[in-house]
Amino acid sequence: MRLAFRLDIAPSGLAAHTDHHAEPGSSAYEVRAARLWSDAPRIDLGERGFIVGALFRRDVPTTRVTELPPAERQSILDTNGDALLADYWGGYVALFIGEDGGLSVLRDPSGMMPCYMRRGAAGIALASDMTALAKPGAVAVDYAALARMFAGIDVIGRQTGIAGIEELFPGERLIVTSSGSRIEQAWSPWDHVGPPAGSNFDTVAAALRVTLKDSIGAWSTCFDKILVGVSGGLDSSIVAAALGPRTPGLRCLSMVEPGTDGDERRYAEALVGKLGVRLDAPVYEIAAVDVTQPVLPHLPLPFALHFFHAIEAEHARLDGPVDAYFSGNGGDNIFCGLRSAVPLADRFLTRSLRPGLLQTARDLADLTGSGMVAVAAKGWERVRRRRAGHRARRDLSGLGPVGRAAAMDESDRHPWLTAPPGTLPGKAAHVAMLARAQKSIELYPRSAAPPQISPLLSQPIVELCLSIPTWYWVRGGRDRAVARKAFEGLLPDLILERRTKGSPSGFIRRVFVAQGETAIAMLRGGRLVEAGLIDPESLARAGEGAWRDDGRDHRILTFAAAEAWVRWWEEAGYPSGPSQRGDAARILSQNA
């Protein structure tokens, strides 16, 4: 199943399509003022629109939906998609055409169908792939968006790194009329943060077990050959266990960096041993990395670091076909992996009994390694400043003055980060984590490769997890405690009780040692310095002193990946061809 699409909307009437970005061989479908190209599953709504992507019914067990009865179809149309959000879930984009001729596009709350858009006077184009909306070599890079990305994931908004291309966020509805367009929230996480009636720790863990198995299992019905990226951590292990031996084409891949916390073979082998599935565990190959080449250039922003070069190389060496890449991406966020005192603040503000408050303080002390007095002080601090809302943390290291100014701009703010009055601080933190999870990395362009599925972002899972009190998630001094309880008996104890966390940081250090000087040389004569985005003096200091564990290697390689991404988009296939710098500083100053 391919999960890619391109949709053109022109309220004044569609012209003959001449856009070379449409994928050859993709099927075309036209209804009134909209034209769709996609090989993804499509559910027709007659002359009133369509749903493109994977759709499931909200039953237990859930079932895949390939067509809708007339009454259900009419209900969806009459509510402009609200009935779709209430009674179904999946990874889809839906188009609805009103009786008055107005159009709306709804993106499902999971965000598992990417949706970028370009709005103009003649109409609007939406697509799952950036390259369907912009041609490398004929674009302007939005350097201000890159500055915000460098500052931190909480600062990233709707604008992509290509000027004029935005993202339609998960759960949003784009309204299009002859007079223009606007965006509204059709689904909000804030509607799901209240605790379920009569809940206790054991009942919510049991409910989460059912929901995880049901939702992840439903995704498995869409593909024959599934590759799960497993780290040996809890989140990816839950995905693999929920798929389990009942998925005939299931196999697991764990990338290895020997001698570091990136070697998780012990945990991955315990997982596949219990599940009875195959594991491939190749070592990260430094030869696969070239810091002068872009990493996943199709992404809307240069999020990805160079270890993805090595992952791509291993994927190319796999024997046999892959229909979809599954991962545990977003698990820390969905399962509320907080390591702060906000669960204690939440329990205090909900006027829970004093013995319960004391237990949560003990749980947090065990989890964080802090003393009870320190935990209590931090909890009280969060109570006192709860009305301030979520505060984005910004990393301005290495940025030049223009880049710093752009990074501090808040005009492009994610709507979920504005919490309703009276929101508990832990719930505000949990929703902010969910917004971060939506920025997951797509390994390959949707139109050219099997999709990446992050099933933990499925709407039923997200809504249930948002409703669970934050102090449940730290029970017993363990992070993601409800998820651990939910999968007792389904995962090895080695994984359920694991407190450490793996990371590719050891490989990133090895890349820096081998190619750091090349990266710094590229940056010194590059677009980011020319635009004033990064400070050239920081590059001069990069080679001084000990770099291990101070984050310098990661920061330099982040800048290098962004530099290569910019050149790929501006030069249509960098590094070949002459330099086409343009007036990057002017563009950045206008957007700062």
Q: Where are the domains of the chain?
A: 6-190, 198-331+444-457, 505-591
How many whole angstroms separate alpha carbon 445 and alpha carbon 588? Answer: 27
Beta-bridge partner residues of 278:
251
pLDDT for 587: 33
Say what the alpha-carbon torsion angle 153, 204, 222, 220 is, to the nearest 10 degrees: 100
Whole-prediction pTM value?
A: 0.93
Beta bridge partners of residue 226, listed in sequence order = 250, 324
Q: Does domain 198-331+444-457 have CATH number 3.40.50.620?
A: yes
The token duo for 43 is: 């559910």
CA distances from 442 to 22, 129, 367 (A): 20, 10, 32
Pairwise CA distance, residues 542 & 536, whole Å: 10
Tokens for 18, please give them.
Answer: 């001449």
Tell me the residue type at 31: V
- Matching CATH topology for 6-190 and 198-331+444-457? no
pLDDT of residue 399: 95
pLDDT the model gives residue 585: 34
Give residue 23's pLDDT. 53
CATH code: domain 6-190 is: 3.60.20.10
**Distance of alpha carbon 394 from alpha carbon 403, whole angstroms:** 12
**pLDDT number for residue 20:** 43
- Using DSSP bridges, classify how beta strands 63-64 and 49-57 pair: parallel, antiparallel or unpaired: antiparallel
Can you tell me whether residue 53 is helix, strand or coil?
strand
- pLDDT values of the chain reduced to their tens digit, one per residue, 592 residues: 789 999 999 876 655 444 544 554 456 888 878 999 998 999 999 889 999 999 999 998 999 999 999 999 999 999 999 999 999 999 999 999 988 888 999 999 999 999 999 998 878 999 999 999 999 999 999 999 999 999 999 999 999 999 999 999 999 999 998 888 999 999 999 999 987 666 899 999 999 999 999 999 999 999 999 999 998 899 999 999 999 877 888 999 999 999 888 889 999 999 999 999 999 999 999 999 999 999 999 999 999 999 999 999 999 999 889 999 999 999 999 999 999 999 999 999 987 656 789 999 999 999 999 999 999 999 999 888 887 667 788 999 999 999 999 999 989 999 999 999 989 999 999 999 999 998 878 899 998 899 999 999 999 999 999 999 999 999 999 999 999 999 999 999 999 999 888 888 899 999 999 999 999 999 998 999 999 999 999 888 876 665 556 678 899 999 999 999 999 999 976 554 333 333 333 333 333 3
